Amino acid sequence: MMLTLVGVCEGMLEDSARRARGVGADIWVSSSTNAIIGLSTAGMSEKYLDFFRKQPHVVAVMGTVIQPVGGVKTVTGIDLDEFNKISGGFKYLAGGPFRNPDDIIVDEYYARENHLHVGSTVQVLNRPWRVCGIVEPGKLARIVIPRRRLQELTANTGKLSQIWLKLDDPSNTQSVIASLKSQLPGYSIISVEELTSLYSVNNVPGLKAFIGVVITLSIVVGFLVVFLSMYTAVLERTREIGILKALGASSAYVLNVIFRETIMLAFAGTIAGIVLSYGSRWLIMAVVPGSLTQKIIPAWWLVAGGIAVTGALVGAIYPAWKAARQDAIEALSYE
């Protein structure tokens, strides 16, 4: 559970970072740093697009509008010409660019999850859209619609959420950022490299606390499962413990047997958890590839193993103590 949930958190962030890199821009501009995780609404005037186009070293500019559509999903409004210039355009797996204002382009994962094909109708923002193109994932967003249409529908005409700039040479990024910051104080202007580095657990409000809760729950569940299973095992094996004691096994020997079994159980549980995290990743990719992305994080295997062993050992203390204190005669007469 822990490996899957942490993997989903990290996977979603990494996917967002990958899509941001996929734009091919060098500088990212927003009126708010909250826009990093797509929570801001349009707050910048479209007039800034011309302003940025006139800046030295800037060769392409793209403005986007982002609108949440439930959960962590968002729809992004783009101008396809701007997008093509800055990123080289989408790679269409089926269909092609927008032809009508109510056309929508979705990526392969979103299409697969929602069983969409070119010509399908999909409900977004409480209205029907015609799928005009299905594209390779990894560029900007999973769902894109014409920017103008999104601005009208969300009463943000002439407003943008984010602006992406492509430079003639990436080595000019810092000097251009410094120049822009001096001209536009109060705006968030950072390199795309820095933007993608901000897609981390520490920068998403509540995510670190959520992972903390998941870890705590894992310890509690691990403790309860091992406590109950070891308690049951000790009861079921009362007679066997009596036999060991009759053979001369000390309390330390019995404790050793119980704790070794517990640690083996914890390791087996950890391995099962790792295998299951691969299984959950496969399931996510098969069922909801457009909504969730799970990453396999080997660095967390050790953490998960440590938590499993700790929870299991704590859970085994009482059953082990009970087993070690078992009276041999009573245990041998146990049916």
Partner 1 sequence: MSDEFIIRVHDLRKVYRVGDVDVPALRGVDLAVSRGEFLTIVGPSGSGKSTLFHVLGGLTPPTSGKVYIHGKDLSAMSDAERTNLRKTEVGFVFQKYNLLPTLTAADNIAIARHIASRSDGYDPKFQEVLELLGIAHRLHHKPKALSGGEQQRVAIARAIVNRPSILLADEPTGNLDSENSKIVLGILRDLNTRMGQTILMITHNPEAASYAHRIVHMRDGRIVP
Using CB under 8 A, list all residues that contact partner 1. Answer: 239-240, 242-250, 253, 328-329, 332
- Distance CA(193)–CA(63), nearest Å, equals 18
Q: How far is the CB of 335 from partner 1 (least distance, A)?
A: 10
Give 136 or 236: the residue with its C-beta nearer to partner 1: 236
And the tokens for 41? 């609404």
Q: How far is the CB of 20 from partner 1 (least distance, A)?
A: 56
Which residue's CB is nearer to partner 1, number 142 or number 245?
A: 245
As measured in angstroms, the least distance from the Cβ of 249 to partner 1 is: 5
Return the number of the residue (207 or 332) whose C-beta is nearest partner 1. Answer: 332
Least CB distance from residue 315 to partner 1, whole Å? 22
The distance of closest approach from Cβ of residue 241 to partner 1 in the complex, given in angstroms and rounded to an integer, is 10
In angstroms, give the least distance from the CB of 271 to partner 1: 22
- SS3 for the chain, per residue? CHHHHHHHHHHHHHHHHHHHHHCCCCEEEECCHHHHHCCCCCCEECCHHHHHHCCCCEEEEEEEEEEECCCCCEEEEECHHHHHHHHCCCCEEEECCCCCCCEEEEEHHHHHHCCCCCCCEEEECCEEEEEEEEECCCCCCCEEEEHHHHHHHCCCCCEECEEEEEECCHHHHHHHHHHHHHHCCCCEEEEHHHHHHCCCHHHCCCHHHHHHHHHHHHHHHHHHHHHHHHHHHHHHCHHHHHHHHHCCCCHHHHHHHHHHHHHHHHHHHHHHHHHHHHHHHHHHHHHCCCCCCCCCCCHHHHHHHHHHHHHHHHHHHHHHHHHHCCCHHHHHCCC
Q: How far is the CB of 243 from partner 1 (least distance, A)?
A: 5
Whose Cβ is closer to partner 1: residue 132's or residue 233's? 233
Min CB(235)–partner 1 separation in Å? 16
Of the pair 112, 245, the CB lying nearest partner 1 is at 245
Q: In terms of CB distance, is 181 or 239 closer to partner 1?
A: 239
- CB-nearer residue toward partner 1: 249 or 283: 249
Half-sphere exposure (Cβ direction) of 106: Cα atoms closer than 13 Å: 26
Shorter beta-carbon distance to partner 1: residue 216 or 333? 333
Q: Cα–Cα distances in Å, from 63 out to 47, 143, 264?
A: 10, 16, 56
What does the alpha-carbon distance between residue 174 and residue 4 come to, in Å, rounded to a whole number? 38
